[in-house]
Structure 1
Amino acid sequence: RAPAVLTVGAWGTQSALGLSKKPKIQRWRGTVSPVELPGGHTTTVLPTVHPAHVMRAPQWGPALEIDVARLGRVLREAWAGPPEEREGHHIVIARDRATLHAELAQLLPGAPIGFDVETVGLGPTQTALVCFALSDGARTIVVPWSRSRDGTSPWWNGCASKVADAVSDALSTRITITHNGPAFDHIVAARYGIRIAAWDDTMLAAHVLASHMPKDLGHVVTMRHDVGPWKELEDRTADLPRLWVYNARDTLYTLMAWTHSITTAPPLSAATRKAIR
């Protein structure tokens, strides 16, 4: 048995992961999936694009190189699991104001904060907020906003404005990091009284730094970090606790992708930085 397997293309990935349908390989590539084998053994499956695809579309060459390097890391060091499950990080569900205030006070002073909203659907000017999350990289705080997936049962009866003010205060002295925030998260947050001050955005950064590649969060994150296929395993009909964890991952991974881009990208001109922001 192999401790880790690099599957190339959709068919190999479908077979290795036991998927019922042919996967969209560009959405699965770059992810890390532990798989149980007969006899109680396990292996780790790492999908990537097929080399033949890279021959037809050379812009995918760096993605293939990154995925092969990821296989090397897993073989040398094994996979420590998703970032949110590793030592030094924890997820908190702020079900009451006391917990929320205590956790907001623990955020790293002046640190950039990942921010992501989960809603009923698209359309930022009308969709209902279900929950949102903030993360400084060590602690991710999920704030429920509705008691149901349809966003119709308020969580914070009578004190929603105070919760929004507390979150706004925490963001007022920090840079808020989103993915497609100006076109979605910022708008939804403002509708519910949450004020975002200074900000950066990983989707806008992707347009500037790699405009020829996909801009979705899954691609942006897996080009930089070793994570599970959290986007492909999302279940929009799941219960709230599962949605909270999904929200936490989106938020933490957005911050991780931004931090990596800022620390590894070549120096940007003032005009480019203005375009990103």
Structure 2
Amino acid sequence: MTYRVKDMPACKGCPFYQTGEQGFVPDEINTGAKLAIIAQNPGELEELDGRPLIGRSGQMVIASLGTYGIKREDASWLNVLKCRWQNENILPREENILRGAVDHCTGAYLRQNLARIRPNLYVPMGDLALHWLTGRENIGHWRGSVFIADSGPIRGSKVLPTIHPAAIFRQPAWRSASKSDFSRIARELPKREPVVTYSDVFHLGVSAEEFINTIAALKGPVVLDIETKSTRPKSERKPIEETLAVIGIGWGKDVAANYVCDAALDEVLRAIESADVDWIAGGAFDFTVLTHYGVKFKWERCHDLILLHSRFDIELPHSIEFIASMWTDRAYWKHLTDTDLLLYNALDCAAEWEAWYRLAAFCKARAPLVWKVYMEDRPLIEVQVALHLAGMPTERGRIQAEKRWYEKERETAEKALLAAFGSTQGSATAVPVCATHKRYTGKSPLKARKGEAEVCSTCAAVRRSYIDSQPLNLRSRPQMIRKLRESGIRVPLTREGKTSLAKGVVSKLLKKYNDPRLAQLLNYWSKSTAVSRYFKEAWISPATGRIHSVYSMHSAKHRWSCQKPNMQQTKRPEKVLESLGDIVETAE
């Protein structure tokens, strides 16, 4: 049955009400169901049918549940919002509008419907549902975690968040994570309490003597995880400049210990160096910092969890939190970094140990080629550490002069391109306001409204005029594609049927059409990339006088990559080095 917002008295006063013509989708409550799925808002198909989650995303959820014998009638299906903003599947950018709509709609409908059910498991899909139900942020962090809500309208209930299926259509790499989440949903359904729990034995902040004795008694694989202090933001930190704060070790899925660095640090470092264990770290960062502090590792006994995971599936994210969400049953803990550093470190150690144990066992038993490739690449951990510490030689005055040269070149190229293409996206012409849809200004995307067979032609003209009047962004691929098409240059499609304006494509178009503007565009992109990426991140260490980039072996085809800065992103302006001589001298 099709409903309209204007037919629902409780909807009046909601910021989403507008004309009230959009579809209204009530929640689908199945009394006695052990599962409750809570999504963000209905889509177009849901509005037409009057039922939640029956479109493409809903079908994906039903199919995933069906793999484990769970039918649609075995769950209740709810949405935080019961209609769409301006008949679109996107939420309004204005925070006050969204917040007002959520407060109004949940107060009128969702809270009442939640009071009618008592499932064993609540599954919020997406950020909006997660935040409203539990008060927690970022579905990417919390997906796959099983926890008891400690706030929100379902406080005291078991929750397992997962990403919204729509996100998988945009990022197919999340499909593996979604499959893992639904297997846990099936596992968690029978009970109201989490099926898997941990009996953690964490020795937090022990003395140097106890920590050294613990290391000496250990055999087999042991996780090594450090916490550091730095005045720079976490995203900009380099191993060469880090100060050790905490050293942690983990030797079981629920056993860990850590030590707060003090005057006995050198003794602890010697104990790490002489330990008869296989050290496991979540990336080369820990090995690099400890090597910088003088630890001489036996590299043939060092392992990298992230390296193994990248060899297992290069498409997936390789953060520790993601790996743990796939290979352990731990709930997300990374938010503790600013409130309880020692507990955070112990959880890191335990989770990394379990993830390593399970992933390594899986690869050895069921994917031996993955394990073989990993073991062949593992000796490069030592090389990676050496690259981090060696850095790239540079001269401060020269790099400052080069930055100014690139900025000037970028400015010159930008002026030339805007003169060639025009400073706006199009030739804007004044269009009168639509008499039927007076509130439409052209800022938002346009589709056919409910009850209309096609898009309003006047509104389409308003939208086009608005877009044409906006400044041209030379770094916007879609805008440049439109400009090129208007010039008669046909931009080819990719295998997926999408238009692409990658550098290689532009180079081919330049050969085909011989349009000098394409050469100018490539030149502009090159200079802009150097300024916005390379020189922004090219921080010279005062200790070494060098630029210390971060190197990785986790990229596709097992190639090395480099960032912060990417040393491959810039070419020294060799042809103008002589003219830079005086500038360099002044900068020094």
TM-score (structure 2 length as normaliser): 0.40
1:168 aligns to 2:273 (yes or no): yes
1:128 aligns to 2:243 (yes or no): yes
Structure-2 separation of matches of 1:275 and 1:124: 22
**Cα offset, 1:142, TM superposition:** 0.2
Structure-1 separation of matches of 2:318 and 2:177: 13
- In the other structure, the counterpart of 1:99 is 210
Contact 2:280 2:304 in 1 (8 A): yes
Structure 2 counterpart of 1:50, one-letter code:
H
Secondary structure of 2:248's counterpart equals strand
- In the other structure, the counterpart of 2:131 is 14
Structure-1 separation of matches of 2:125 and 2:155: 22
Q: Which has the higher contact order (CA 8 A, sep 6+)?
A: 1
Structure 1 counterpart of 2:358, one-letter code:
H
Structure-1 separation of matches of 2:274 and 2:256: 17
**Cα offset, 1:132, TM superposition:** 1.2
Deviation digits for residues 217-255 of structure 1 (CA, Å, limit 9, x no counterpart): 111110122112211x2343x3xxx21110111111111
Q: Which has the higher helix share?
A: 2
Q: Which has the higher strand share?
A: 1
Select the residue among 348, 351, 359 that pairs with 1:261: 359
- In the other structure, the counterpart of 1:234 is 336
Taking a change above 3 Å as real, the CA distance of residues 230 and 114 of structure 1, as seen in their structure-2 partners, is same
Unaligned runs of 5+ in 1: 146-154
Structure 2 counterpart of 1:234, one-letter code:
L
Deviation digits for residues 191-220 of structure 1 (CA, Å, limit 9, x no counterpart): 233343211111112221121111111111
Contact 2:149 2:158 in 1 (8 A): yes
Structure-2 separation of matches of 1:35 and 1:203: 30
Unaligned runs of 5+ in 2: 1-117, 231-236, 380-588
Select the residue among 203, 216, 226 that pairs with 1:117: 226
Deviation digits for residues 102-155 of structure 1 (CA, Å, limit 9, x no counterpart): 322443x2x10111110114211111111010111153120111xxxxxxxxx2
Structure-1 separation of matches of 2:274 and 2:242: 24
Structure-1 separation of matches of 2:126 and 2:362: 29
Structure-1 separation of matches of 2:142 and 2:205: 31
1:274 aligns to 2:389 (yes or no): no
Structure 2 counterpart of 1:273, one-letter code:
M
Contact 1:9 1:49 in 2 (8 A): yes
Secondary structure of 2:161's counterpart equals strand
Contact 1:176 1:200 in 2 (8 A): yes
Deviation digits for residues 59-111 of structure 1 (CA, Å, limit 9, x no counterpart): 3222111111112222346326763xx1xx4111353233223322443x2x1
- In the other structure, the counterpart of 1:149 is none
Secondary structure of 1:136's counterpart equals strand
Deviation digits for residues 33-58 of structure 1 (CA, Å, limit 9, x no counterpart): 21147899621211111112223433
Structure 1 counterpart of 2:213, one-letter code:
A
**Cα offset, 1:258, TM superposition:** 1.1
Structure-1 separation of matches of 2:344 and 2:197: 12
Secondary structure of 1:203's counterpart equals helix
Structure-1 separation of matches of 2:250 and 2:361: 18
- In the other structure, the counterpart of 1:151 is none
Structure-2 separation of matches of 1:82 and 1:115: 23
Structure-1 separation of matches of 2:359 and 2:125: 26
Structure 1 counterpart of 2:311, one-letter code:
V
Structure 2 counterpart of 1:66, one-letter code:
S
- In the other structure, the counterpart of 2:312 is 209
- In the other structure, the counterpart of 1:152 is none
Taking a change above 3 Å as real, the CA distance of residues 81 and 128 of structure 1, as seen in their structure-2 partners, is farther
Structure-1 separation of matches of 2:249 and 2:152: 40
Secondary structure of 2:225's counterpart equals strand
Structure 2 counterpart of 1:275, one-letter code:
D
Secondary structure of 1:214's counterpart equals coil
Count, aligned residues: 248
Contact 1:16 1:45 in 2 (8 A): no
Larger Rg: 2
Taking a change above 3 Å as real, the CA distance of residues 67 and 42 of structure 1, as seen in their structure-2 partners, is same
- In the other structure, the counterpart of 2:172 is 58
Taking a change above 3 Å as real, the CA distance of residues 272 and 103 of structure 1, as seen in their structure-2 partners, is closer
Taking a change above 3 Å as real, the CA distance of residues 57 and 161 of structure 1, as seen in their structure-2 partners, is closer
Out of 55-64 and 208-217, give the one that drifted further. 55-64
Percent identity between matched residues is 23
**Cα offset, 1:186, TM superposition:** 0.7
Structure 1 counterpart of 2:314, one-letter code:
S
Contact 2:205 2:342 in 1 (8 A): no
